[in-house]
Amino acid sequence: MALRLGDTAPDFTAETSEGKISFHEWLGDSWGLLFSHPADYTPVCTTELGTTAKLKEEFEKRNVKVVALSVDDVESHQGWIKDINETQNTTVNFPIIADPKREVSTLYDMIHPNADNSLTVRSVFIIDPAKKIKLIITYPASTGRNFDELLRVIDSLQLTANYSVATPANWRHGEDVVIAPAITDAEIPAKFPKGHKVIKPYLRTTPQPNL
């Protein structure tokens, strides 16, 4: 059965390019970003993994651990990492799960037979410290992921987990947010002392509360 938002991210033990990990234990109290790749030595994936490595500090300051997955084995991963480092002018600094038996891929429903019956699609899972799945995005194999968008979503998820707000379309860190409908007008001054704007009774905005 396909995973849905709010489900507990399935735990697993797997070999990776940085040794064996038990997923939940490896995550610890961090957020997690798990993303899959159709195969090693594929062009779009090479650019994605290089981009991820360059964003190491951005993920760290958000307390996010990153782990990739490909259906090839660890030896193949190690050779591919050399190519990624060379062509993308970076150093891969996160584990890549080896999944030659498609066990993790199946657990996370990463193989879509109508797209390809053996290779994983470009799945992305963002997982919170309670091990709950907070976001799922699936891209076709031909389209590389937008990592700026993934960081934007993480910012939104972490903000809205701690405050009674939502983020509007195209929101970026530092911009105004929407006050949750469950908050009454009378409660707003205490909860949002920076002030607020009423656009419609159901659409009220306030400066980002954690800045």
For residue 180, give the DSSP letter. Answer: P
For residue 84, give the DSSP letter. Answer: H
Residue-by-residue DSSP string for 128-158: -TTSBEEEEEEE-TTS---HHHHHHHHHHHH
Closest CA to 131 of 55, 53, 22, 36: 22
Candidate list 27, 34, 45, 119, residue with the active-site label? 45
CA distances from 110 to 16, 52, 65, 96, 126 (A): 17, 20, 20, 15, 14
| Active-site residue, 102 included | no
Q: How far apart are the first and last CA of the chain?
A: 40
What does the alpha-carbon distance between residue 206 and residue 190 come to, in Å, rounded to a whole number?
12
- The catalytic residues are 45
